[in-house]
A and B are shown apart, each in its own frame.
Chain A
Amino acid sequence: MIINAAKCVACGNCTYICTMGAIHIDHATRRATIDADTCVECYACYNGMSHEHLPAVLVRAVRGVLKLLRLRFEPEPDICPTAALEPDELVWPRIVRRAFSDPRVPHASTGVQGRGTEEVKTNDVSGRIQRGDVGFTIEFGRPGVGVRFHEIQLMTRALTAVGVSFEKNNPVTTLMSDPDTGSIREDILNEKVLSAIVEVKVEAGRTQEIIELVHAVQKQMNTVVAIGVGARCDEDGGETDIAGRLEHLGYRLERAKTNAGYGRITNELRGQA
C-alpha cells in the first residue's frame, strides 16, 4: 500500500485503522507515512475505509483555517477525504504478505479465501477428521500482532521432528521448501503477515503431546498463538473424547464452531445422474 503524498491531508484517520500500527503522521512532511517493513499489505485501510474524492488543496486550506481559529472539524472516523490510499504493485516475495493478510485474496493453493483450508467446516462431506482423529489449526499473529515466517518455521520444524505431517492444501504447507523437515522457503522467511495457520491431523491419543509441543515452541516466538482443535462427533452428536482431553489439560472450552452435518457431495451425485 502507498499513500499518495499529493493527496494526503494528514487527517490521521488511517493511522487508527491500520491493523499493524504501521501508519503514522510524519511531522516533517505533514503526510501520513507507511512503515513498509511493518505493513502486512492487509488492505484494511484501502478496502475498509470509505473514500471521498475532495481536492487536497481545499481540504488543507479548510483544516489550516480551523487550526488558526483553534477549532477542529471532527470527520467521520472511517473516511479518507481525498482517496489518498493507493494499492502498490506487489512483487515476490512481498506479495506473500497480501496473500496471508488480505482475506479477500484467495490462496492459489486452496481456492479458499482466508489463511487456512476448509478443515472441520466441510468435514461432513470431506471426511477429513474421522473418529479417533484430532485436527489442529495452529494460528500465529492474530489478533493484531503479526508474524514472520522464520517464527512459523520454528513450529513447523518442531512438528515434523515428532513425525507430524501437514495438511497438503494449507497455504503454509505450499510455501515449504521441504515439508518433510518443515523448512519454509528461504526467500520469504523475513516476510511479515497478519496471520498464518498451520494445520495438522494426528491420532486423538497424541492431543496432549501436540499441545505441549506448541506450548514449548511458542515461548521462542514473539507473537500470539491461537489453537483450534477439531473432532468428529458421535452418532448422537456427542463429543467427549477430545473435549475431555482438553479439559484435563486445564482448558475451559468456551467457544466452538459446530458442523451441523447438513452437507452433501452434490458434485458427484450430479455426475452419476
Chain B
Amino acid sequence: MTNTLHRYGNAESFDDDFVVFAMPSKGRSDEGCVPKMKRFLQMALPFGPVNLGDALHGGAFRPCKDANPAVHWQRDLTPDFQAVIDGVDAYTTVAAVFDQRDKAEAYMAAVKEADLGLCINISTSVEGGKRCCCAAGGARHSVGYSLGFEGATEKLPDDQVLTLTTMCGHGMVSAGFARKMVDWVKEDRRTPEQAAAYLAGFCSCGVYNPSRAKRVLEQAQHPSE
C-alpha cells in the first residue's frame, strides 16, 4: 500500500500536507493493536488534524447510506473525527492528516512520547519528513522515495486534477469527479471548501487532505492571484 507516497506536486506544494500514520506489523506488533490505534487517533485531536482515517472503515468525511432529500439544501460537510476513532475494531492502518508543519511536529513528538509500539510513518516532502522526525527528537529509521509517474503519462489529467486525485492514493477519487469539482468551483456553483469535502468523501482510508484540496480549488477559481 503506497497510498500516500505518490502525491503529485513539488516539495513546496507539500508544505500544507503531512500525513502521519500508524501501522502494526503483522505477526510482530498486531496483538492488542486496536486500543493503541484508537489512542493514536484520539491523541491527534488537540493538534487540529484536517482528517483522520482508518483504512478499513474510512475517513472523517463519509458518505451517508440513508440520506434525506433535504441533504441537497442542507448538508453537514464537517468531518466526523469521533466516528473514525469509534470505528476502529480490527487490525488496520490509521492516519492523522495535518496542514501545518508545527502541528505535525508537535503530534509526532507526542506519539513518540506515548511509545505505542506501532510503526509510525510520516508522508510529506523528503525534507519535511526529516524535520518532523528531528523535531520529535529522533532519527529517521527508513525512507521510501517517490519517483513520480512515468510510462504512458499522456493518459494522465492536467496538473490541477492530478493534484486533487492523487491525494487519495488508492485512486478512489476519479479524474472526472475532480474535474467536475474544479468546474463547479470556477462557475461558483459550490465553494472550494464544499468541493474539497465531496472529494474527501471518496478516499476510503481517510488520508485525503481537504485543506490542500481547498487551496488547489481556490487557485483554480482565481488563477491570477
Chain A contact residues, CB within 8 Å of chain B: 15-21, 42, 44, 47-54, 73-79, 102-104, 110-126, 129, 135, 137, 139, 142-145, 194-195, 197, 211, 214-215, 218-219, 221-239, 242-243, 246, 251-268, 270
Q: B150 to A227, Cβ gap below 8 A? A: yes
Chain B residues with CB below 8 A from A267, complex form: 27-31
Q: A258 to B9, Cβ gap below 8 A? A: no
Chain B residues with CB below 8 A from A253, complex form: 126, 145-146
Q: B3 to A263, Cβ gap below 8 A? A: no
Given A48-B63, A253-B126: A142 and B6 interface contact (C-beta under 8 Å): yes
Query: What's the Cα separation between A135 and B1 when bound, in Å?
Result: 14
Among A21, A42, A257, the residue within 8 A (CB) of B172 is A42
Given A50-B63, A79-B71, A222-B152: A239 and B143 interface contact (C-beta under 8 Å): yes
Query: What's the Cα separation between A233 and B130 when bound, in Å?
Result: 11
Q: B129 to A225, Cβ gap below 8 A? A: no
Closest Cβ–Cβ distance, residue A234 to chain B (whole Å): 8
Q: Is B165 an interface residue (CB 8 A)?
A: yes
Q: B147 to A115, Cβ gap below 8 A? A: no
Q: B202 to A195, Cβ gap below 8 A? A: no
Interface of B, helix, strand, loop or mixed by DSSP: loop
Chain A residues with CB below 8 A from B133, complex form: 237, 258, 260-261
Given A111-B26, A233-B143: A225 and B151 interface contact (C-beta under 8 Å): yes
Chain B residues with CB below 8 A from A259, complex form: 119-121, 140-144
Chain B contact residues, CB within 8 Å of chain A: 1-7, 9-11, 14, 21, 23-32, 55-56, 63-69, 71-72, 75, 91-93, 108, 111-112, 115-126, 129-130, 132-134, 136, 138-153, 155-157, 162, 165-166, 169-177, 179-181, 184, 189-190, 198, 201-202, 204-205
Q: A231 to B112, Cβ gap below 8 A? A: no
Given A113-B205, A228-B6, A237-B134: A126 and B25 interface contact (C-beta under 8 Å): yes
Q: Which 7 A-B pairs have the closest CB atoms?
A: A114-B1, A237-B139, A261-B141, A258-B129, A263-B119, A48-B202, A122-B25
Chain A residues with CB below 8 A from B153, complex form: 224
Among B7, B111, B172, the residue within 8 A (CB) of A19 is B172
Q: B152 to A17, Cβ gap below 8 A? A: no
Starting from the known contacts A123-B142, A257-B2, 9 additional A-B residue pairs (CB-CB under 8 Å) come to A17-B176, A42-B172, A114-B1, A118-B25, A230-B143, A255-B6, A256-B126, A257-B5, A262-B115
Closest Cβ–Cβ distance, residue A189 to chain B (whole Å): 19
Query: What's the Cα separation between A92 and B15 when bound, in Å?
Result: 44
Closest Cβ–Cβ distance, residue A241 to chain B (whole Å): 11
Q: B142 to A232, Cβ gap below 8 A? A: yes
Q: Would you mind naming 8 contact pairs between A and B with Cβ atoms under 8 Å apart?
A: A19-B171, A104-B55, A195-B170, A221-B152, A224-B149, A254-B9, A255-B123, A258-B142
Instruction: Select from chain B the residue with minimum beta-carbon distance to A194.
Output: B171
Chain B residues with CB below 8 A from A118, complex form: 23, 25-26, 119
Given A144-B165, A226-B6, A228-B5: A255 and B67 interface contact (C-beta under 8 Å): no
Instruction: Select from chain B the residue with minimum beta-carbon distance to A243.
Output: B145
Among B121, B143, B148, B179, the residue within 8 A (CB) of A226 is B148
Query: What's the Cα separation between A237 and B131 when bound, in Å?
Result: 11
Closest Cβ–Cβ distance, residue A153 to chain B (whole Å): 15
Chain B residues with CB below 8 A from A102, complex form: 204
Most interface-central of B112, B144, B181, B205 (chain A CB within 10 A)? B144
Given A42-B171, A237-B130, A237-B134: A257 and B122 interface contact (C-beta under 8 Å): yes
Query: What's the Cα separation between A221 and B153 when bound, in Å?
Result: 11
Chain B residues with CB below 8 A from A51, complex form: 63-67
Chain B residues with CB below 8 A from A222, complex form: 152
Q: B119 to A125, Cβ gap below 8 A? A: yes
Chain B residues with CB below 8 A from A120, complex form: 142-144
Instruction: Select from chain B the residue with minimum beta-carbon distance to A106.
Output: B56
Closest Cβ–Cβ distance, residue A9 to chain B (whole Å): 13
Query: What's the Cα separation between A116 and B129 when bound, in Å?
Result: 22
Among A42, A197, A228, the residue within 8 A (CB) of B144 is A228
Instruction: Select from chain A the residue with minimum beta-carbon distance to B140.
Output: A237
Query: What's the Cα separation between A75 and B205 when bound, in Å?
Result: 26
Chain A residues with CB below 8 A from B145, complex form: 228-231, 242-243, 246, 251, 253, 255-256
Q: B117 to A143, Cβ gap below 8 A? A: no
Closest Cβ–Cβ distance, residue B45 to chain A (whole Å): 19
Chain B residues with CB below 8 A from A77, complex form: 177, 180-181, 184, 190, 198
